Amino acid sequence: MIAPSILSADFARLGEEITSVAGEGDNRADWVHVDVMDGHFVPNLTIGLPVVRSLLTTSDVPLDCHLMIEDPDRWAPGYAESGAYNVTVHAEAARDPIMLAKNLRAAGSRAGLSVKPKTPLEDYVEILKHYDTLLVMSVEPGFGGQSFIPEVLDKVRTARRLVDTGHLRLLVEIDGGINNDTIEQAAEAGVDCFVAGTAVYGADDPGKAVAALREQAAS
Ligand code: DX5
Ligand code: ZN
């Protein structure tokens, strides 16, 4: 699965930018990844719930909301209630991650848990039983256009093993520095869903970039 991140899109034309990956066939994104940053959990600020609500009306591509915010226990369920398909919170920020997962599912979305590059997966294996998605960060969260950190692939391999042996039921997603050169190693490690900002919205034709990434991941 390919999830273009609109962090690298033109924020004055977000609706059109989403439509550009919402066509038919190979050019269509599986999810559109929306980075919500609060200027506290990460040193950058983007958009919040009112904008996400508007984006939800622009296409039928499911929205994958990645909340890089403090106090997700309080704010994340609102994204689920508004219709986001997958809502991911950070393990480092959640106060009661099990209750939060339950609240997200009750509000109608998939529940995602994300770990920063230096956060060990071991601490969260029990908690992950309550989640539908694990988002492994392959850059420090906060900015697009950074270089892929290959060391995080060990976490992907561990998660893949836990899923394949039936210990967890999760979709494994990776975010940061994914492009035509790095996607293969991530695919080999066992990623199911690839977030790509610069590689999609930095390209002349975002739809074609989605198709190229998908082909590269499968090769
Ligand atoms: C970074 C964000 C990413 C970002 C990825 O904190 O979570 O989703 O948009 O951008 P690229 O693909 O350019 O590394
Ligand atoms: Zn993200």
Mutation to probe ligand 1, out of 2, 5, 45, 179 (largest number of atoms < 8 A from CB): 5
Average pLDDT over residues 115-140: 98
pLDDT digits (tens, 9 = 90+) for 172-219: 999 999 999 999 999 999 999 999 999 999 999 999 999 999 999 998
Residue type present at position 24: E
Ligand 1 touching residue 180 (CB < 6 A):
no
What is the C-alpha separation between 121 and 116, in angstroms, rounded? 10
User: Three-state DSSP class for 113?
Assistant: strand
User: Three-state DSSP class for 190?
Assistant: coil
DSSP string, 119-160: S-SGGGHHHHTT-SEEEEESS-TT-SSPPP-GGGHHHHHHHH
| Nearest atom, ligand 1, residue 198 CA | 13
Query: How many residues in total does the chain contain?
Result: 219
Q: Which is catalytic among the residues 35, 38, 132, 192? A: 35
Contact status, residue 89 vs residue 112, Cβ threshold 8 Å: yes
pTM (2 d.p.): 0.98
142 is in an annotated binding site: yes
What is the C-alpha separation between 49 and 84, in angstroms, rounded? 10
Ligand 1 touching residue 175 (CB < 6 A):
yes
108 is in an annotated binding site: no
Contact status, residue 154 vs residue 160, Cβ threshold 8 Å: no
Structure tokens at 147: 């270089």
Based on the residue annotation, tell me whether 175 is a catalytic residue of this protein: yes
219 is in an annotated binding site: no
What is residue 129's predicted lDDT score, i.e. its pLDDT?
97
What is the C-alpha separation between 98 and 102, in angstroms, rounded? 6
User: Three-state DSSP class for 41?
Assistant: coil
Contact status, residue 21 vs residue 210, Cβ threshold 8 Å: yes
Strands 171-175 and 193-196: parallel
Q: Among residues 146, 101, 94, which one has the least CA distance to residue 119?
A: 94
pLDDT digits (tens, 9 = 90+) for 139-185: 999 999 999 999 999 999 999 999 999 999 999 999 999 999 999 99
Conformation bin of residue 45: beta by default, left when phi > 0, alpha when psi is -120 to 50 = beta
CATH of domain 2-218: 3.20.20.70
Q: pLDDT band at 77, cuts 50/70/90?
A: very high
Sequence spans of domains, the chain: 2-218
